[in-house]
Chains A and B, each alone.
Chain A
Amino acid sequence: MGHDVKCHNLEFHDVTVAYGRRPVLWNIDLSVDGPGLFGVIGPNGAGKSTLVKAALGLVPLVGGSVRLFGLPLEHVRPRIGYVPQRETVDWDFPVSAVEVVLMGTYARLGWFRRPGATQRALARECLDRVGLGEIADRQIGRLSGGQQQRVFLARALAQQADLYFLDEPMAGVDARSQDQIFRVLSELRTEGKLVVVVHHDLRTAGEWFDSVALIDMRLVAAGPTAAVLTPENLRRTYAGHLDVLDELGRAVEQRGRTP
């Protein structure tokens, strides 16, 4: 793979996705390279989550293709980690935090093989890493929203991937969990991984991500954060969402003022 300079970590080529006949993503052309934190930013219903789901093969493409490390998804699944939105599962499910993290090792185990001591140790280690080592055996419904999100992150860590997708990992998360999650994501960057994060909060986007993509069904802009998060680009992204524009304007101004 090293000899091919055109081989990107993550590449969307002309991707179009529709739910029924309603388009959600429209001709997305985007290539992303690691290591680093990559933010996918846009208004509600802009298709941010769908972009991630398209990359993971969770929604059918109407057209276009996605390549990861230069290959189709099926060839690189073990190298991909995923943190879905927290609301997608039933937290009343009778499993403990460490059992959820253990699920991150299942794909590598394959059919019918049970996790052993190695996998259990790895799961504990991943939980420690997100600061939840002490409540490993607690039923997941008894965790706070932020802790649940960190359990999901730990499960993705247990996948031991090279490319991570996180869908709104900071939504409804307390400050401490937010710090911890950001710290772990920064560590992943240091380890040379690419981390793609769907994110809604423009205030924090500027400081967290190395590069971002602004999407509103179509790709508005992508590149280094400072170059992309301009008032003009934000206006184009949030054009149909005038109510948030005002707040955004203030956020951008503030960013401009701080050196």
Chain B
Amino acid sequence: MIVLPTIPYNTLVVAAGVAAVGFAAGVVGSLGVLRKRALVGDAAAHATLVGVAAAFLMTGRRDLPALLLGAFVAAVGSLGVLVLLRRVTRTRDDAATAIVLGVSFGLGITLVSGITARGIPGGAGLEQFLLGHTAALTASDAVLLAGVSAAAVLLLAIGLKEATLVAFDAAFAAASGWPVGMIDYALVTLVAVMVVVGLPAAGAVLVTALVVIPPVAARQWTDRVTTMLVLAGCFGLVAGLVGVGLSAAVPRLSTGPVVVLVAAAIFVVSFFGSPSRGWLARWRRQRAVAQGWAEGRIIEAALHAMQASSSGYFTRQSIESRLGTAVAPGRSSTMASSRAWRGLLLRHAIEPAPASEASVLATQSSQGISLWRLTEQGKAEAVERARRLALWGDVLAVASGDARAFLTIDLPPPEAVLDAARLHAIRAAVAASGP
């Protein structure tokens, strides 16, 4: 009952090779993404086609090592042109990247279609480098790809300290004597290497997906560089494997689109599901902010209501009508209000009227309207909130931008973030400008 032997040996080796490429692309790409060089890799990727075509024209054979060498030369050449464009013509980064990407890709397509149109023997398969096609790879090709991938990962591991330093804070690195330019070139060259060995798997158009998507997905799950590298590697590996599998099973199916779609699926899951950075987590945080604000507004109104009524009690309805839609505007306002109400009850900021006193005010409670009051703790909280609001109002009225920057929606005490002299000056300014 062993299934393995039914898969051809060649396919297994190719699968292993492409898996290694996917892993290395994720690892190397992570540093590229952290250094904000994602687009640079894309420019290099599109330029590889020129190299592939040129290498074919020179050797006259479709020999993978030679074609990839040509692709690498073209990729590095395009990066050189990119640097020159920026230095000499002062074109901005994004524009320079777009120019190099577009022009080199146009040149590549022209060459490849010219070769195909002229029916140069062996040239028919070159367009496979456009979208990737692993079915035609031989075992020795796969070994080459895996070997280069392993070397790339090893090199990155050796220089990880330096690469991370430059990626995080290039100015600090330069100030402490590191050759930032050289480290950058080394990193971008490694990215170019991965783009080149990723060509058979994903093709010139889509190979950046292997270098960019897995790292971005991995970032969603971790706050550590090393974990991100390994995770991105695993994502890339999975994407590569599925691509090879489908390409082997479905005749004439290009690998690249499959690889990209699998990577994108992983990204979508990461984007929604990540416990701290995902869309869900962000939605929960946003909801917590809205609830905190609503709670504040409720006890604020409750304090006013208690002061206004002789009994010291208030109803939920009276508070909500007092606030209007201010608790949380929009359709979900009742829900936000309910959550806020529950939250206040849970932390004992408000409490229902005791049964004995409620019966005294039976006219209201008999109508099914429950009475509430602020606890001592709730009262203190409301008073403190009012104090902070007033003080922040002064800050907003007279202070300059960097004092305002400390105001957050959870209303920190101003004296915790602004120094005493500053607060004093603000109070004085308000007093001076007052009525």
Contacts and interface: CB of A to CB of B under 8 A. Distances in A.
A112 B162 contact: yes
Nearest to A137: B223
Most buried by B among A175, A176, A178: A175
B280 interface: no
Contact of B416 (A100, A176, A204): A176
Contacts of B421: 203-204
A175 B161 contact: no
Contacts of A96: 223-224
Given A77-B177, A114-B161, A175-B417, A103 B223 contact: no
B71 interface: no
A171 B171 CA distance: 18
B415 interface: yes
A204 to B, nearest CB: 8
A256 interface: no
A63 interface: no
* B contact patch SS: helix
A93 B416 contact: no
A152 to B, nearest CB: 8
Interface residues of A, number: 42
A103 B406 contact: no
Interface residues of B, number: 37
Interface in A173-188: 174-176, 178-179
A118 interface: no
B405 A172 contact: yes
Contacts of A58: 171, 174-175
Interface in B397-435: 402, 405-406, 415-422, 425
Given A89-B168, A94-B228, A100-B168, A175 B174 contact: no
A153 to B, nearest CB: 12
A175 B416 contact: yes
A84 B172 contact: yes
A126 to B, nearest CB: 15
B248 to A, nearest CB: 36
B186 to A, nearest CB: 12
A57 B181 CA distance: 14
Given A174-B406, A175-B419, A176-B416, A106 B165 contact: yes
Contacts of A80: 175-176
Contacts of B228: 94
Contacts of B422: 175, 203
B223 A139 contact: yes
A95 B225 contact: yes
B281 interface: no
A54 B329 CA distance: 52
Nearest to A142: B223
A107 interface: yes
A112 B168 contact: no
B58 interface: no
Contacts of A38: none
B406 A107 contact: no
Contacts of A57: 174-175
A155 interface: yes
B168 to A, nearest CB: 5
Nearest to A138: B223
Contacts of A165: 175
Given A93-B167, A106-B161, A176-B416, A159 B224 contact: no
B34 interface: yes
Given A80-B175, A94-B223, A107-B178, 8 more contacts: A82-B172, A93-B168, A94-B224, A106-B176, A114-B161, A171-B402, A174-B416, A174-B418
Interface of B: 34, 36, 158-159, 161-162, 164-165, 167-169, 171-172, 174-178, 219, 222-225, 227-228, 402, 405-406, 415-422, 425
- Which 8 A/B pairs are nearest by Cβ-Cβ distance? A139-B223, A175-B419, A174-B417, A107-B176, A82-B175, A77-B177, A56-B175, A89-B169
